[in-house]
């Protein structure tokens, strides 16, 4: 019986320990009701929940002082921030959004799916003329859906390809000319033949390496064959003619000829980059201008003896276009999106969240464009950070040249219902078929036919 | 002749098992050598099974740049508490379902069992709403622990195990006027040790490796478990494989120690219910 008492005591203690350890409860602001905000409301203590990502290598270092400064300006607004990981953050956000409890501010692009939940907040009532005028022409459009502003862009992303300067020059490829004038699929295929070879150590050097886990490569190739998206800006399904078949044949040929690894379907973005580090990939898709900084940092680490490997000179390259199609550079905006929760915290809370949103996208946050080697989205940011960029001037010029052929994401122009259908098509039809094409399990014709039939069903 | 073929058979079986053992040990070996190399080498497309050079830099990055000790403590704490609660509650429930007669015994057991058929994806959002929105328990140990205090799978395992124990011992104890809890504590628990050990190992390992739920309900770095913490070495365009491998190696140590410490029970427990008539 004594033993029984002892064991009960042990269990009770362990339960107590659990309870004691559970003290640090989340600070959830109850918020006020949706009544008109007064100046008294504006001074009330409030907590704004912010979920963000390491936008660039130093973003968290920059964010902390920014938040401290914001807190000095608005001592009643506490910012409860969480730095998510790029790998798992979207899943966490997805659960929170579906549970009706997304953070007040989330870093990402405006999305029709967010609007469909009814929780994304249209920012138009909070945007002053001063804010609108501060954005460079067209920059705000990247955060609009159906004409309403849902995101305040922090920077404009740009998708391109990237090359290893040494390998390109050894193969006699005039990369400067490509940067200046672009290139066609035919020109790329000729170059790729020279770039694909067995290396002296017996390993294979590939002309082009992409990851098969995302649809980025498909997006880039099809956009450069007069297909801005699966649907056009009116929401009409357009992946049903010779253009999509030609794009698929182009990809199929790259695998068949060994320009791309036959394992492409299984390659992750990280593996693709690692192959580039390892000198096994002459060109990678996709690349962003920020890679310039990434490779510069890596070279510094190699010099410091922190890591081993070849120092790689990164060359930003435009995506080749079909010979009779116009070149296109895929660009869009990334920034903060505001959300309501099912348990509405009131108008003053939204105003407070917008204050933070504006602060985190304003002049003092301009270094993100510098770090990412991208054009500034706000005039005030350019004023504060102009000339402090980290990009290699050659790649900076190439990025600016490519920006002349910019194409905005179509999903911002179509209805939210159509955007949801588009996502369904991409998840259920495009991705498995793209991977089957890369793996050689389906031919370009079979995939095109599948797109045509399933697209007609889903994207009616 | 028969003797000779038996020797050949044993030889072939040993060879096949050796190869199999080698295959299963490769990921472990890869993790350990990867933890002593730079990130590019540990994720190289052409893997080198014997590294060119060794470095403790990944361990330095893992321990110096993060809350690694706190993550390890959190994992130990959460897994430890859940092992205790699961062993205690699942063995009690298992005993009751296996040996006690009460109205609705079978129907309650089957209702419980049927909840195992519901995919976790279906219950994830309601559980999140309950823990985060209704109880406001975000970023606490309670949020991580509460949903797994006792699992139906463990109750099922213990019910099956308890069913294999002789009922005559329970009758004898009742004749000797032992209380129901006394029977459970003095008679059943000592003879159920192998089953309890298996339950403890399985629960500890499962909780140690749990990733998504702690990710969902924790916010601050100091509340992360080791598995969630390791994910923070993945960045937008790069992954610090060296530090991840170092963290995974450190994280695997308690599992390896636990396995060897309880190996005897583990092997006994694998056959739980196997000879039940």
How far, in Å, CA of A298 to CA of A371, rounded? 15
Closest CA to A248 of A447, A428, A422, A454: A447
pLDDT tens, position by position, for chain A (460 residues)?
A: 444 444 444 444 444 333 333 333 333 333 333 344 456 667 789 999 999 998 887 888 899 999 999 999 999 999 999 988 887 889 999 999 999 999 999 998 888 788 888 999 999 999 999 999 999 888 898 898 888 999 999 988 889 999 999 999 999 999 999 999 999 999 999 999 999 999 998 899 999 999 998 999 999 999 999 999 999 988 899 999 999 999 999 999 999 999 999 999 999 888 898 899 989 999 999 998 888 888 888 898 888 877 778 899 999 999 999 999 999 999 888 999 999 998 889 999 999 999 999 999 999 998 888 888 888 899 999 898 877 777 788 988 898 899 888 887 887 778 778 888 898 999 999 999 999 999 999 999 999 999 999 999 999 7
If one looks up domain B67-232 in CATH, what number appears?
1.10.3720.10
| Closest CA of chain B from A333, distance in Å | 16
Closest CA to A190 of A171, A177, A203: A171
Q: How many CB atoms lie within 10 A of CB B142?
A: 19
Return the bridge partners of A228, or none.
none
Q: How many CB atoms lie within 10 A of CB A111?
A: 21
CB contact under 8 A, B139 and A25: yes
Closest CA to A425 of A250, A239, A225: A239
DSSP string, A9-52: HHHHHHHHHHHHHT-----------SSPP-HHHHTS-EEEEEEE
A271 touches B: beta carbon within 8 Å? yes
How far, in Å, CA of B58 to CA of A307, rounded? 10
pTM of the shown model? 0.74
ipTM over 0.95: no
| Domain range summary for chain B, segments of one domain joined by + | 67-232
CB contact under 8 A, A99 and B138: no
Of A3, A22, A272, A372, which to mutate for an interface test with B (greatest number of B Cβ within 10 Å)? A22
CB contact under 8 A, A277 and B138: no
Of B235, B241, B243, B247, which to mutate for an interface test with A (greatest number of A Cβ within 10 Å)? B235
If one looks up domain A45-157+332-398 in CATH, what number appears?
3.40.190.10
Class in CATH terms, A159-327+410-458: alpha beta
DSSP string, A214-275: SSHHHHHHHHTTT--SSB-TT--B-TTSHHHHHHHHHHHHHHHTTSS-TTGGG--HHHHHHH
Which residues of chain A form CATH 3.40.190.10? Answer: 45-157+332-398, 159-327+410-458
| Closest CA of chain A from B4, distance in Å | 45
A7 touches B: beta carbon within 8 Å? yes
A275 touches B: beta carbon within 8 Å? yes
Chain A CA closest to residue B83: A14
Distances (CA, A) of A109 to A88, A246, A370, B19: 17, 30, 19, 50
| Closest CA of chain B from A288, distance in Å | 10
Chain A CA closest to residue B136: A26
């Amino acid at each position: 019986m004594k033993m029984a008492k002892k064991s009960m005591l042990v269990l009770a203690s362990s339960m107590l320990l659990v309870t004691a350890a559970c003290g640090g409860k989340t600070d959830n602001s109850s918020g006020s009701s949706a009544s008109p905000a007064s100046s008294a409301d504006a001074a009330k203590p409030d907590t704004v929940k912010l979920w963000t990502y390491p936008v660039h290598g130093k973003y968290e270092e920059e964010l902390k002082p920014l938040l401290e400064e914001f807190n000095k300006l608005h001592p009643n607004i506490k910012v409860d921030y969480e730095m998510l990981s790029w790998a798992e953050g979207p899943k966490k956000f997805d659960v929170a959004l579906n549970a009706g409890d997304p953070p007040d501010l989330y870093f990402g692009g405006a999305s029709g799916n967010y609007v469909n939940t009814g929780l994304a907040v249209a920012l138009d009532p909070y945007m002053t003329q001063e804010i609108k005028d501060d954005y460079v022409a067209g920059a705000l459009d990247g955060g609009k859906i159906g004409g309403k502003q849902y995101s305040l862009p922090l920077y404009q992303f740009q998708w391109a390809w990237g090359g290893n300067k040494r390998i390109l020059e050894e193969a006699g490829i005039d990369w400067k000319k490509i940067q200046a004038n672009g290139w066609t699929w035919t020109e790329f295929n000729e170059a790729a033949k020279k770039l694909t070879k067995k290396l002296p150590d017996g390993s294979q050097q590939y002309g082009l390496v992409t990851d098969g886990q995302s649809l980025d490569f498909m997006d880039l190739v099809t956009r450069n064959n007069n297909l801005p998206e699966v649907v056009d800006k009116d929401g009409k399904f357009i992946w049903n003619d010779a253009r999509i078949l030609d794009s698929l044949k182009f990809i199929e040929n790259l695998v068949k000829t060994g320009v791309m690894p036959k394992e492409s379907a299984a390659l992750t973005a990280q593996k693709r980059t690692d192959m580039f580090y390892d000198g096994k990939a002459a060109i990678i898709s996709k690349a962003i201008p920020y890679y310039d900084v990434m490779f510069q940092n890596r070279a510094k680490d190699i010099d410091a003896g922190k890591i081993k490997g070849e120092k790689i000179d990164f060359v930003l390259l435009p995506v080749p276009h079909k010979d009779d199609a116009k070149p296109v550079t895929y660009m869009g905006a990334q920034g903060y999106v505001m959300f309501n929760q099912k348990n509405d915290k009131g108008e003053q809370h939204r105003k407070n969240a917008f204050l933070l949103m504006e602060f985190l996208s304003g002049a003092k946050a301009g270094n993100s464009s510098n770090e990412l080697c991208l054009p500034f989205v706000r005039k005030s940011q350019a004023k504060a950070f102009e000339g402090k960029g980290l990009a290699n001037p050659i790649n900076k010029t190439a990025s600016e040249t490519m920006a002349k052929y910019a194409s905005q994401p179509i999903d911002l122009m179509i209805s939210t219902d159509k955007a949801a259908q588009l996502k369904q098509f991409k998840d259920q039809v495009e991705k498995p078929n793209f991977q089957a094409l890369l793996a050689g399990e389906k031919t370009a014709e079979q995939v095109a036919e599948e797109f045509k039939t399933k697209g007609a069903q889903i994207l009616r | 002749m028969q003797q000779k073929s038996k020797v050949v058979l044993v030889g072939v079986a040993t060879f096949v098992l050796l190869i199999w053992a080698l295959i299963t040990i490769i990921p472990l070996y890869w993790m350990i050598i990867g933890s002593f190399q730079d990130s590019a080498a540990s994720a190289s497309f052409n893997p080198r099974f014997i590294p060119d050079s060794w470095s403790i830099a990944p361990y330095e990055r893992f321990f110096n740049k993060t809350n690694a000790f706190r993550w390890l403590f959190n994992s130990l704490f959460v897994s430890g508490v859940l092992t205790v609660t699961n062993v205690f509650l699942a063995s009690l429930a298992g005993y009751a379902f296996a040996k006690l007669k009460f109205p609705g015994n079978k129907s309650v057991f089957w209702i419980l069992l049927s909840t195992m058929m519901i995919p976790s994806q279906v219950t994830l959002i309601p559980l999140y709403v309950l823990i985060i929105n209704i109880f406001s328990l975000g970023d606490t140990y309670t949020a991580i622990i509460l949903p797994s205090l006792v699992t139906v799978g463990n109750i099922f395992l213990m019910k099956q195990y308890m069913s294999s124990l002789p009922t005559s011992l329970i009758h004898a104890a009742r004749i000797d006027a032992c209380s129901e809890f006394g029977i459970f504590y003095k008679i059943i628990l000592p003879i159920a040790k192998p089953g309890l050990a298996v339950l403890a190992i399985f629960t500890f390992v499962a909780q140690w490796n749990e990733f998504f739920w702690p990710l969902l309900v924790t916010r601050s770095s100091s509340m992360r478990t080791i598995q969630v913490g390791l994910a923070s070495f993945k960045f937008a365009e790069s992954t610090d494989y060296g530090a991840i491998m170092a963290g995974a190696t450190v994280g695997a140590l308690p599992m390896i120690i636990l396995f060897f410490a309880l190996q005897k029970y583990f092997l006994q427990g694998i056959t739980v219910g196997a000879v039940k008539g």
